[in-house]
Amino acid sequence: MKLTIDLVPQTAWGNSLYNFYKQNKAWDWHKIKQKVFDLEGKKCWICGHAEGPFEAHEFWRYNHKEKIQKLVGIHHLCGNCHKIKHFGFWTETETGLEKLKKENLTKIELIMHFCDVNNCLEKDFKEHKDKSFKLHAWRSQQEWKTDFSWIEKLNLNVIMPNTNLNSF
Ligand SMILES: [Zn+2]
Ligand SMILES: [Zn+2]
């Protein structure tokens, strides 16, 4: 599947590069966004949609044995693809549902976007969703260390959170 749900474990909420720069009042997040635009153009990295605004999403890989969540990439996504990534927030929390309403969107429309991009049926979505939520529940019971070393690959002059710390 091109577009998947990727829920961040509750125990790792806030451990993002975006939050790190926000807390440190650094403009480095914008430097990273610009670099990603330079490398990939102004379009959704997943579905190719060419109309902004685009939101930079942090992609993570989880090492279940060592309990490390490792940043493996940052790409710009359209609003719909990005909402699928954080489907739990947008469709199962009060704040998310309110925001969704403000954007004149519904859960059904998000599911339709998922099925369009993946060329699949609603039952495939349901299967994928159940699997992701189950995984999320398990991951939310583990403590995660966060590895941000990927950022060095961008060759930018940005401040770095310490690698392998679980908070900053
Ligand atoms: Zn998209
Ligand atoms: Zn995101």
Ligand nearest to the CA of 82: 2
Residue 30 reports pLDDT greater than 90 = yes
Residue 160: inside a domain:
no
Give 165's pLDDT tier (boundaries 50, 70, 90): low
Mean of all residue pLDDT scores within the chain: 93
25 has pLDDT over 80: no
At residue 163, the pLDDT reads 58
**pLDDT band (50, 70, 90) for residue 139:** very high
The rounded distance, in Å, linking the Cα atoms of 65 and 77 is: 30
Using the mean position of ligand 2's atoms as its centre, give its distance from the Cα of residue 58 in Å.
Answer: 6
How many Å lie between the centroid of ligand 1 and the Cα of residue 43? 8
Mean pLDDT of 16-20: 91
Q: Nearest bound ligand to CA 88?
A: 2
Alpha-carbon distance of 168 to 21, in angstroms, equals 11
Distance 44 CA to ligand 1 centre (A): 5
Is residue 162 assigned to a domain? no
* Contact in structure between 30 and 126 (CB atoms under 8 Å): no
166 domain-assigned: no
Question: Mind listing the pLDDT tens digit for each residue in 74-130?
Answer: 999 999 999 999 999 999 999 999 999 999 999 999 999 999 999 999 999 999 999
Q: Which amino acid is at 58?
A: E
Total tally of structural domains belonging to the chain: 1
Q: How many CA atoms within 13 Å lie on the side-chain side of 57? A: 25
Ligand 2 centroid distance, CA of 36 (Å): 15
Does the pLDDT at position 164 exceed 70? no
CB-proximal residues (5 Å) to ion ligand 2: 57
Gap between the Cα atoms of 136 and 123, Å rounded: 20
Helix (H) or strand (E) holding 96: helix 94-102
Distances (CA, A) of 98 to 61, 78, 79, 90, 92: 30, 19, 15, 9, 10
Q: Is residue 143 part of a domain?
A: yes
Please tell me the predicted confidence (pLDDT) of residue 168. Answer: 46
**Residue 25 within any structural domain of the chain:** yes
Distance in Å, CA 66 to ligand 2 centroid:
23
By residue range, what is the domain housing residue 145?
Answer: 10-154
41 falls within a domain = yes
**Is-contact 76 34, C-beta < 8 A?**
no
Q: Which ligand is nearest to the CA of 50?
A: 1
- Whether 129 maps to a domain, the answer reads yes
Of the pLDDT bands very low, low, confident and very high (cuts 50, 70, 90), residue 41 is very high
To the nearest whole percent, how much of the chain has pLDDT over 70? 96
Checking if the pLDDT of 166 tops 80, the result is: no
